[in-house]
Structure 1
Amino acid sequence: MKHRPIAVKIRNAALLAMLAAAGLVVSVPFAHAANKPSSKPSPEKTVEAVSGPLPANAVARVNNVTITQTQLDDAVRASNAPDTPQLRASIKNQLIARELFRQAAEKQHYESRPQVVAAVEQAKTAAMTAAYLRDQVKPGPVTDADVKAKYDAIVATLGEFEYKPSAIAVKDADTAQTVLTQLKKGTDFAQLAKQYSQAPGAAQGGALNWISFKTPIQPGNTQNWPQPLAEALVKLPQGGVSSAPVQVGDAFWILRVDERRATQVPQYDQIKDALRKQLEQVALQKATAQVVVDLMKNAKIQQQ
């Protein structure tokens, strides 16, 4: 009878692990990475290891593999959940169950299965590449002056007014005309956007973010909007809808100005951290591209 609670715990652990695999409980890392035995012990030593007291900094032992307090702590932190005794007990059971699964798979030599070998190689490649890039990619520093200059450049592109637009973009002129006809009959713009539009924000009824342009519109100063769209937008009053489709490439656009207001320029202190992150990301991309260029100089690359 005294062994029954252990069996119950193991069954619970297996259930928790299966639930974890289905995404229903906290996901935890495998427990054996740091403490897998380096060689197979003799049967006598195995019995002694399993039945003897747990070593220091151990929370469980599965056959002859120890699960450490450090592993449990790491798994609790990785869960991003409140650290409670109940959570720790649940995660410990998951670690036990996963170690049981690992040992069972190892006994049946799953490590030699092609899909396992391929997954290990992929993980090795990813880790090796990430480590190499950490060592080789050296982005330039982003200074306070860089951040302020970026802020000033953005402010310089803003006009007197800013607009909250919605847009419908379709592939052909006939469909655009159908949309305009429906709008004139009073059909809801958002409904038509969801039905016809292929533009960003179609699922939200065509709604786009606030935008401001310095007028008159100048090439290259349109906040990444196509110039014909920027020119059409600033001519519309609040609530106004394009009287005719605006063609940009192969797409036909219909715009509406949901709101129009005086441009609200954010204070530098409010956005400097976001701007710094943007500049750091640009610097990282630039440094990564340079590493690629350097490697390509001495590489033989064939492509179709």
Structure 2
Amino acid sequence: MKRHLTHTPFTHCAAAIAFAVGLSAIAVPSMAAKKPTSSHTKAAAPVPASGPLPANAVARVNNVLITQDQVDAALKAVNAPDTPQTRAAIKNQLIARELFRQAAEKQHYDTRPQVIEAAEQAKARAMTQAWLRDQVKPAPVTDADVKARYDAIVATLGEKEYKPSLIAVKDEDTAKNVLMQLKKGTDFAQLARQFSQGPNAAQGGAMNWVSFRTPVQEGATQGWPQPVAEAMVKLPQGGVTTAPVQVGDAFWIVKMDQSGATQIPDFETTKAALRQQLEQIALQKATAQVVVDLMKSATIQQ
């Protein structure tokens, strides 16, 4: 009793936020002594280039220390098993990276325009992300909100659920050609990969489980085009539409891979995922409101 609320409507209700910033696999601070930025800036004291390693240091690369904190941070970032072998590999990677950095700095790569531009872009991303964290205040999601969302989704489900595959093409002649090849025994998934311009074509057109009430009503088909939904519910398991179903300028061919009685997971099973999705929606709305507020006081020419 899990597949329905896991696949379609629960996972499709949240939109992605366009403010995520990618992090490198190993994002740890450099311990290099900082160079003076002007004649009035005092340089940091250099790290001794020899002698015993200080506490918490795991290596010294010329005059730069690699610390245990850096290894710990890198291990956490890559989410790898905490083993001596993994730590040794990470330490070696950090040493290699520091050698690369020092070699690049020695040849003044830090003054190259593309490096300066990349540094400014990274600074801008970090600054923007920090500002957004402080300014975007999404509305809290309550237990009642989560339960209401669960009830609303369950109310849209029909007695049966369907797992179809589909082929969508842009002209009727191609659709008829596909149907002719299907009648000759050509594999549906093969034809989907070859001809389909619809979703999941690379996966042979296989779609997720879906359920909706019958008779099919406009706007209550979990996002499926109504003509396709109406054709789908009439198909037996293993059946294929005998004629292309026109949706706008496209022509769809549907195969019913599986069907059966709708299985609904209980609320406890789905509430964590539902809460996360509602929180994402709240974040999206709050972010959009910040954009609207900024635009009111901005001068934008396009």
Contact 2:28 2:73 in 1 (8 A): no
Aligned to 2:270: 271
Amino acid corresponding to residue 291 of structure 2 in structure 1: V
* Displacement after TM superposition at 1:272 (Å): 1.1
Question: Are residue 131 (structure 1) and residue 130 (structure 2) matched?
Answer: yes
The 3 A distance-change label for structure 1 pair 29 and 166 is closer
Identity rate of aligned residues, in percent?
72
The 3 A distance-change label for structure 1 pair 61 and 41 is farther
Distance of 2:52 and 2:143 partners within structure 1: 58
Secondary structure of residue in 2 paired with 1:49: coil
Distance of 2:193 and 2:91 partners within structure 1: 48
Q: TM-score, normalised by structure 1?
A: 0.83
The 3 A distance-change label for structure 1 pair 231 and 100 is same
Distance of 2:151 and 2:100 partners within structure 1: 58
* Displacement after TM superposition at 1:231 (Å): 1.3
* Displacement after TM superposition at 1:106 (Å): 1.5
Aligned to 1:295: 294
Distance of 1:113 and 1:30 partners within structure 2: 23
The 3 A distance-change label for structure 1 pair 187 and 72 is closer
The 3 A distance-change label for structure 1 pair 152 and 223 is same
**1:1-304 equivalences in 2 (<5 Å):** 28-29=26-27, 32=30, 34-37=31-34, 49-303=48-302
Contact 1:147 1:276 in 2 (8 A): yes
Distance of 1:36 and 1:178 partners within structure 2: 69
* Displacement after TM superposition at 1:194 (Å): 1.6
Task: Report how many aligned residue pairs link the two structures.
Answer: 274
Distance of 1:35 and 1:197 partners within structure 2: 54
Contact 1:31 1:98 in 2 (8 A): no
Distance of 2:143 and 2:87 partners within structure 1: 44
Contact 1:166 1:256 in 2 (8 A): yes
* Displacement after TM superposition at 1:82 (Å): 2.2
* Displacement after TM superposition at 1:191 (Å): 1.9
The 3 A distance-change label for structure 1 pair 291 and 31 is closer
Distance of 1:154 and 1:189 partners within structure 2: 31
* Displacement after TM superposition at 1:27 (Å): 5.5
Q: TM-score, normalised by structure 2?
A: 0.84
CA RMSD of aligned residues (A): 2.2
* Displacement after TM superposition at 1:218 (Å): 1.5
Q: Any unmatched runs of 5+ in structure 2?
A: 1-23, 37-41
The structure richer in helix per residue is 1
Amino acid corresponding to residue 194 of structure 1 in structure 2: R
Contact 1:37 1:65 in 2 (8 A): no
Aligned to 2:15: none
Contact 1:62 1:96 in 2 (8 A): yes
* Displacement after TM superposition at 1:136 (Å): 0.7
Amino acid corresponding to residue 275 of structure 2 in structure 1: R
The 3 A distance-change label for structure 1 pair 238 and 88 is closer
Distance of 2:26 and 2:105 partners within structure 1: 20
The 3 A distance-change label for structure 1 pair 51 and 204 is closer
Secondary structure of residue in 1 paired with 2:49: helix
Larger of the two Rg values belongs to structure: 1
* Displacement after TM superposition at 1:182 (Å): 1.6
Aligned to 1:20: none
The 3 A distance-change label for structure 1 pair 257 and 296 is same
Distance of 2:110 and 2:102 partners within structure 1: 11
Secondary structure of residue in 1 paired with 2:69: helix
CA distances 1:229-282 after superposition (whole Å, capped 9, x unpaired): 111111222222112111111110011112221111111111111111111111
* Displacement after TM superposition at 1:302 (Å): 1.5
Secondary structure of residue in 2 paired with 1:215: coil
Amino acid corresponding to residue 90 of structure 2 in structure 1: I
Contact 1:31 1:99 in 2 (8 A): no
Higher relative contact order (CA 8 A, sep 6+): 2
Distance of 1:117 and 1:111 partners within structure 2: 7
* Displacement after TM superposition at 1:104 (Å): 2.1
Distance of 1:296 and 1:194 partners within structure 2: 44
Secondary structure of residue in 1 paired with 2:252: strand
Pick which of 243-252 and 187-196 moved more.
Answer: 187-196
CA distances 1:276-297 after superposition (whole Å, capped 9, x unpaired): 1111111111111001100111
Secondary structure of residue in 2 paired with 1:199: coil
Pick which of 89-98 and 129-138 moved more.
Answer: 89-98
The 3 A distance-change label for structure 1 pair 89 and 170 is same
The 3 A distance-change label for structure 1 pair 99 and 168 is same
